[in-house]
Amino acid sequence: MNLYISDLHFGHTNVIRFDHRPFSDVKEMDHALIHLWNSRVNPEDDVYIIGDFCYKSDHSPDWYLRQLRGHKHLIIGNHDKVTVDCPEAAKYLESMEKMQHVTDGDRQICLCHYPLAEWYKSRHSSWLIYGHIHAARDEVYEFMKTRERALNAAACINNYTPASFNELIRNNEYFQQAGNEVPDKGGRNELLYQ
């Protein structure tokens, strides 16, 4: 199964405040992200990390990667220099690209960390899965809402868990309907220990 997630920001203290994440500190966040990932991902799954894997962490990227199940693919984001430059991280990644095209069932999908106005076969039937904007509701978000086949894989709108294609569709619809609130699909304990 293909699963998708972006903007995990392992080890990044400031992202807790920026995304209004339900964690008291970076240690709790990292523990929860690893737990949620491994609760969802099977060893044979392909997980596409659509940028910003870890940032400003006390741990190296490979410390996180070796704890996470599945075949991991990194789509490079603006905060992935440490991961790209870490030779040990490459041992835990099946691929590391700036952009990648994959097939999921009968769907052609372009994976890019950045939201794009157009992508390969975007005027036909292909999809875009992107990240970078987290849960921002700015002009980029408003524009991307007009793109029928573009899905935001941000961890903060996908319950901090890698999501299937169909789950991304549902989570994006839920996020758009939620207005100015970041969707909270349950209380803090439910999120961390489901």
The CA distance from 135 to 48, in Å, is: 19
Write out residues in the chain with pLDDT < 50, as ranges: 183, 185-194
Contacts of 74 (CB under 8 A, 6+ apart): 49, 51, 53, 80, 83, 93, 95, 96, 97
The CA distance from 170 to 141, in Å, is: 17
117 in a domain, yes or no? no
137 in a domain, yes or no? no
Between CA 110 and CA 76, with CA 49 as vertex, the angle to 5 degrees is 75
| pTM (predicted TM-score) | 0.91
* pLDDT confidence of residue 193: 30
Q: Which residue segment(s) compose the domain that 164 sits in? A: 2-98+153-193
How many domains is the chain partitioned into structurally? 1
* pLDDT confidence of residue 88: 97
> pLDDT, tens digit, for every residue of 107-156?
999 999 999 999 999 999 999 999 999 888 888 888 998 898 999 999 99
69 in a domain, yes or no? yes
91 in a domain, yes or no? yes
1's tokens: 């199964």
